[in-house]
Structure 1
Amino acid sequence: MPRFAANLSFMYTEHEFPRRFDAAAGDGFRGVEFMFPYAWPAAEVAGWLRAAGLQQVLFNAPPGDERAGERGLACLPGREAEFRAAIGLALAYAETLDCPRIHVMAGIAPAGAERARLRATYVANLAWAAGQAAAAGRELLIEPINPRDMPGYFLNRQEDAHAIVDEVGAANLKVQMDLYHCQIVEGDLETRIRRHVPGGRVGHMQIAGVPARREPDVGEVNYPYLFGVLDELGYAGWIGCEYRPAGDTSAGLDWLRRLG
């Protein structure tokens, strides 16, 4: 059975952020992920992890000006200096949190921008960042995100993500395969899992019910079946639970308890 990590940006929001670590550990999680840790000193977050006996498995690099609607800098021409500073900050946090992987968000494509120029910027930035991350012993991930939840996001499809990974050619650059986003954009999840998971090119996975992004036992995706496919393929990575509970987080974990 795959290893599941609680996403503390989505789950346990009935608690203040520092209390979410203990709550997740109390429900049996051994790994956690979240979007952005930068509102808290890295040493403080590391203390919460240690006290709860949890492993940090993933977080995002800074997205730019989130309040202005920015969702990453990697594809944006003219923002290279900000992108490099963001990667430096993320790597510093990853060192303190002992986190092996960082998600690098592509960004929202500016209106009227030439896609080829955005892609070239994206590839160049990822190549530089992968070199920095390799020196620090970290993996970088890129994630296709559906345009319904994030209109204008540059990267939407699995094939495009894997083509970019191929072009960059860095062993520590991998794809974050979120089955919620993949179902909305592409569907045919088993086929895509069987195509992309073998060979280790998928560095992390995430789940949520489709279409409402609730618990994974609600909606149109048969996750227990897909977990069996992942077991068959020998997937040994984490699966992040990036969903919004319909009510109390712990009460909504029957889907996980049924898996044994």
Structure 2
Amino acid sequence: MPRFAANLSMMFTEVPFLDRFAAAADCGFEAVEYLFPYDHAAEVVAERLGTAGLAQALFNMPPGDWIAGERGLAALPGRQVEFQQALEMAIAYARVIGTPHLHMIAGIAPATDPKAIATYRDNLKRATDRTGEAGIGLVIEPINGRDMPGYFLSDFNQALDFIAEMDAPHLKLQFDIYHRQILHGDVIMGLRACAALIGHIQIASVPDRHEPLTGELDDRKIFAEIDAIGYQGYVGCEYRPALGTREGLSWMAMV
């Protein structure tokens, strides 16, 4: 059975962010992930994590101006200095909080634009080198255009090509089952094909992004396949509870 990590950006939103660590532990989670910790001092986040007895699974690098619609800086020409600053901030937080993985978010840019491709490649190389020096894993994630229109990295094959180019053992694929189904389908075969390169997995039902077992996929078979491919990491529960977080957790007893 996979080990699940609560996504504190989507779950337990009934309470303030720093209180979600204890709420997740109270509900039996052993690990957490979230989009960003940067609204709080790294030491404060680490203290809440430790007090709750939780492991940290993953968080994202700073996204740029999220409120204005930015979704990462890596593929944005002319923003390399900001990207470098975001990378260093993420590494500093990762060292204090103790995350095994950082997710490098790509940003909104045309996937076929040569300048965006070159910028992304250069920034990925920079991030791969720096996280390698810091002993931190790096993941990249294809995201579907329905949830995030215009996102640069929206194809699993393209992500795998970038990973192959970098040829670094700590650079891996973030395999989000929800995004995979919307982008390509063929989830189980995708898991098998990508198994050696998967650094992190996330789950939500399709199409509504609610609790597992409530959508079009057979999540029990998917969980069995995650075990079968030998994945040892956490599966992030990156879903929006349909009614309330605690009310929706009954699915965990059914898998």
Q: TM-score range by the shorter chain?
A: over 0.9
Is 1:10–1:244's contact at 8 Å kept on the other side of the alignment?
yes
In the alignment, the residues of structure 2 paired with residue 79 and residue 173 of structure 1 have an alpha-carbon distance, to the nearest angstrom, of 22
Matched, 1:244 2:248: no
In the alignment, the residues of structure 1 paired with residue 64 and residue 17 of structure 2 have an alpha-carbon distance, to the nearest angstrom, of 22
The number of aligned residues is: 255
**1:45 Cα deviation (Å)?**
0.5
Q: Matches of residues 77-156 of structure 1 in structure 2 within 5 Å?
A: 77-109=77-109, 115-156=113-154
Is 1:32–1:56's contact at 8 Å kept on the other side of the alignment?
yes
- Which secondary structure state, in structure 2, belongs to the residue aligned with residue 253 of structure 1? helix
In the alignment, the residues of structure 2 paired with residue 80 and residue 171 of structure 1 have an alpha-carbon distance, to the nearest angstrom, of 24
Any gaps of 5 or more consecutive residues in structure 2? none
Q: 1:2 to 1:139 in 2, by over 3 A?
A: same
One-letter amino acid matched to 1:130: T
In the alignment, the residues of structure 2 paired with residue 66 and residue 248 of structure 1 have an alpha-carbon distance, to the nearest angstrom, of 25
Q: Matches of residues 123-202 of structure 1 in structure 2 within 5 Å?
A: 123-197=121-195, 199=196, 201-202=197-198
Question: Which of 245, 254, 258 is the equivalent residue of 2:254?
Answer: 258
In the alignment, the residues of structure 2 paired with residue 71 and residue 236 of structure 1 have an alpha-carbon distance, to the nearest angstrom, of 29
**1:17 Cα deviation (Å)?**
1.1
* Residue matched to 1:225: 221
Aligned-pair identity in percent equals 51
- Cα deviation per residue 1:26-71 (whole Å; 9 max; x = unaligned)? 1111110000100001100111001100011100000011121110
**1:257 Cα deviation (Å)?**
1.4
**1:114 Cα deviation (Å)?**
5.6
In the alignment, the residues of structure 2 paired with residue 170 and residue 121 of structure 1 have an alpha-carbon distance, to the nearest angstrom, of 19
In the alignment, the residues of structure 1 paired with residue 151 and residue 242 of structure 2 have an alpha-carbon distance, to the nearest angstrom, of 26
One-letter amino acid matched to 2:231: Y
In the alignment, the residues of structure 2 paired with residue 116 and residue 78 of structure 1 have an alpha-carbon distance, to the nearest angstrom, of 13
**1:254 Cα deviation (Å)?**
1.1
One-letter amino acid matched to 1:141: V
**1:115 Cα deviation (Å)?**
1.7
**1:133 Cα deviation (Å)?**
0.5
**1:159 Cα deviation (Å)?**
1.0
Any gaps of 5 or more consecutive residues in structure 1? none
In the alignment, the residues of structure 2 paired with residue 213 and residue 61 of structure 1 have an alpha-carbon distance, to the nearest angstrom, of 23
* Residue matched to 2:211: 215
**1:100 Cα deviation (Å)?**
1.1
**1:209 Cα deviation (Å)?**
0.8
- Which secondary structure state, in structure 1, belongs to the residue aligned with residue 85 of structure 2? helix
In the alignment, the residues of structure 1 paired with residue 229 and residue 208 of structure 2 have an alpha-carbon distance, to the nearest angstrom, of 28
In the alignment, the residues of structure 1 paired with residue 167 and residue 84 of structure 2 have an alpha-carbon distance, to the nearest angstrom, of 19
RMSD, aligned α-carbons: 1.1
**1:18 Cα deviation (Å)?**
1.4
- Cα deviation per residue 1:134-193 (whole Å; 9 max; x = unaligned)? 111101110000000000000111111111101122221111010001111111111111
In the alignment, the residues of structure 2 paired with residue 253 and residue 67 of structure 1 have an alpha-carbon distance, to the nearest angstrom, of 30
